[in-house]
């Protein structure tokens, strides 16, 4: 009796990609930016407070919810924008009580995190075994099932409409004095770092892009960012400079 033969039908598109030497993952469409919704109106947004070692400099708005405004340890002179809180316990006289605005922003922050975490078909999986210092990264979707370290400068090279999304299953750590640099017209508004673990930006380091952390974001002494800190727990600052990305 002849053995039964099982036929596997492979879609022509995949056959073509394999024949061309292109992986299925890298054939995914270029990623579109993560939708931040009203969370994009904030430079710093946290669910459980903002601590600070004076003096930090923040351009743009700061918000905390559902924690009381007393958990915002910034002074008015450190924020070139508004400080939104859920009650009147925030820094005076600059705090604005607006729980409705904050509830919407926090909801949008969580939706943005889920959007970034849910992207499929990465262009790179576990690049550098989690160490990306010294690399030049093209636009695309990058996924790590581990921690990610930036021990040396890393460059993001692309055009003004290109998008980078980094999915990190563990922690994200940038070493002291390291820099994330954009070249070729790349814009910080199109760079998104989604991290399930804590994010640490080292002393005197520089970072680019929006950080979406499921836990805390810590910026060490005199670190700077051209981007946003959107944390589902706390944000800690130490004499830092924060500038939101240009939106045009």
In this structure, the number of other CB atoms found within 10 A of the CB of residue 59 comes to 13
As a whole number, mean pLDDT of residues 83-91 equals 96
Within a domain: 22: no
As a whole number, mean pLDDT of residues 18-46 equals 74
- Domain containing 214 equals 33-243
> Residue 247: helix, strand or coil by DSSP?
coil
As a whole number, mean pLDDT of residues 211-218 equals 98
Site of tokens 């809180």: 85
Within a domain: 19: no
The pLDDT value recorded for residue 218 is 98
Does pLDDT of 231 surpass 90?
Answer: yes
* Partners of 137 in the β-ladder: 156
Within a domain: 13: no
What total of structural domains would you count in the chain?
1
The pLDDT value recorded for residue 26 is 38
Q: How many CA atoms lie within 13 A of 241 on its CB side?
A: 8
* Predicted confidence band of residue 3 (pLDDT cuts 50, 70, 90): very low
Does pLDDT of 124 surpass 80?
Answer: yes
Q: How far apart are CA 8 and CA 164, in angstroms?
A: 35
Site of tokens 């290109």: 162
Q: Residue 74 in contact with residue 89, Cβ under 8 Å?
A: no
* Predicted confidence band of residue 247 (pLDDT cuts 50, 70, 90): confident
As a whole number, mean pLDDT of residues 130-144 equals 98
As a whole number, mean pLDDT of residues 78-89 equals 97
The pLDDT value recorded for residue 182 is 98
Within a domain: 42: yes
Within a domain: 11: no
Does pLDDT of 55 surpass 90?
Answer: yes
Instruction: Determine whether 4 is exposed, middle or buried from the number of CB atoms within 10 Å of its CB (0-12, 13-18, 19+).
Output: exposed
| H helix runs in the chain, sequence order | 12-19, 99-117
In this structure, the number of other CB atoms found within 10 A of the CB of residue 14 comes to 12
The pLDDT value recorded for residue 39 is 98
The pLDDT value recorded for residue 29 is 84
As a whole number, mean pLDDT of residues 92-121 equals 97
Looking at every residue in the chain, the average pLDDT score rounds to: 91
Q: What is the pTM for the complete model shown? A: 0.89
Within a domain: 25: no
Within a domain: 79: yes
Within a domain: 8: no
* Predicted confidence band of residue 28 (pLDDT cuts 50, 70, 90): low
């Amino acid at each position: 009796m002849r053995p039964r033969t099982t036929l596997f039908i492979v879609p022509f598109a995949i056959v073509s990609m394999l024949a061309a030497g292109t992986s299925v993952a890298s054939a995914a469409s270029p990623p579109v930016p993560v939708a931040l919704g009203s969370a994009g109106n904030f430079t710093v947004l946290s669910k459980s407070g903002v601590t600070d070692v004076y003096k930090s400099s923040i351009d743009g708005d700061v918000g905390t919810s559902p924690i009381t405004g007393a958990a915002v340890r910034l002074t008015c002179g450190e924020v070139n924008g508004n400080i939104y809180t859920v009650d009147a316990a925030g820094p005076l006289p600059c705090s604005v009580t607006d729980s409705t605005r904050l509830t919407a922003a926090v909801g949008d922050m969580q939706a943005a995190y889920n959007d970034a975490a849910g992207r499929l078909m990465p262009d790179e999986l576990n690049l550098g075994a989690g160490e990306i210092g010294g690399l030049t990264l093209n636009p695309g979707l990058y996924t790590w099932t581990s921690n990610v370290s930036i021990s040396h400068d890393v460059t993001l090279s692309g055009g003004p409409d290109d998008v980078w999304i980094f999915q990190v299953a563990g922690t994200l750590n940038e070493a002291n004095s390291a820099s994330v640099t954009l070249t070729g017209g790349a814009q910080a508004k199109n760079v998104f770092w989604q991290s399930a673990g804590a994010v640490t930006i080292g002393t005197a380091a520089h970072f680019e892009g929006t950080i979406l952390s499921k836990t805390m974001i810590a910026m060490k002494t005199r670190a700077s960012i051209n981007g946003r800190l959107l944390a589902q727990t706390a944000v800690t600052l130490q004499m830092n400079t924060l500038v939101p990305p240009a939106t045009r």
